[in-house]
Amino acid sequence: MRAKVNIDIANTEKLVGKGVKDSKKTMSQLIGVFKDEEAFKAADQDQVVYEVQAYMPVEEGKKGGLFWGNSMVYPGKVGTEYHMTRGHFHSNLDTGEYYWCLKGEGALIMMDLDRNCWYEEMKPGTLHYIPGNVSHRVANTGYEPLFFNACWPSDAGHDYASIEKEGFAARLFEVDGKPQLIKE
């Protein structure tokens, strides 16, 4: 009768329960992600840039199922570029995803297959539909941890390799104290 999984909203903001997988990315794991290589080298390589929890109650690849994510991106910049996630397309390209923001300030940066880039501001309560065929990454543009949740189809998969190789066509920098998306 108890729910199998809970988010401890009031305290830790962590997803707790059987089958929840945790992962985190430290700066050292994000080599090649940020523009300013000198600033990257000078950064604390052990700092956690973001954490992701995933609840996957059906097998990966199953059609018609859904997975659920709980993410935290910590504030900071590498040079003037905001801390952000690696970003990915779905392997099964034409599958959508929702992100919604619970706390903090950020930006959901998206890029379509023609390499058009845009972003949506994230703040508590914003809901974002990421259409199929659109890669996505999240930057923290504020001064506190950015906390958001996600839901995606269990047959979506993750293609990180395309972004690792080709990057996004634009990057989000702080310019005059504000986020600005600048083409590569």
The residue range among 25-33, 38-46, 50-58, 162-170 that interacts with a second copy, by the rule CB under 8 A, is 50-58
Binding status of residue 64 toward a second copy by CB under 8 A: yes
Among 34, 40, 50, 55, contact with a second copy (rule: CB under 8 A): 55
Least spacing, CB of residue 14 vs a second copy, in Å: 10
Q: How far is the CB of 13 from a second copy (least distance, A)?
A: 10
Q: Count the residues of the shown chain that bind a second copy, applying the rule CB under 8 A.
A: 46
Per CB under 8 A, 97 contacts a second copy: yes
174 is a contact residue toward a second copy (CB under 8 A): no
Three-state SS letters, 5-29: EEECCCCCCCEEECCEEEEEEEHHH
The DSSP output letter for 98 is E
Q: Which stretch binds a second copy (CB under 8 A): 9-17, 34-42, 75-83, 163-171?
A: 9-17
* Closer of 49 and 81 to a second copy (Cβ): 81
Name which of 63 and 165 has its Cβ closer to a second copy.
63
Cα–Cα dist 18/20, whole Å: 6
- Quote the CA–CA distance of 42 and 47 in Å, as a whole number: 12
Residue 3 binding a second copy, by CB under 8 A: yes
Across the strands, what pairs with 7? 15
Cα separation, 119 vs 159, in Å, equals 20
CA atoms 160, 136, 91, 103: torsion sign: positive
Q: In what order do the strands lie in the sheet with 117-122?
A: 117-122, 106-112, 134-140
Binding mask 113-152 for a second copy (x = CB under 8 A): -----xxxxx-xxxxxx-xx------------------xx
Query: For residues 72 and 51, is the Cβ–Cβ distance under 8 A?
Result: yes
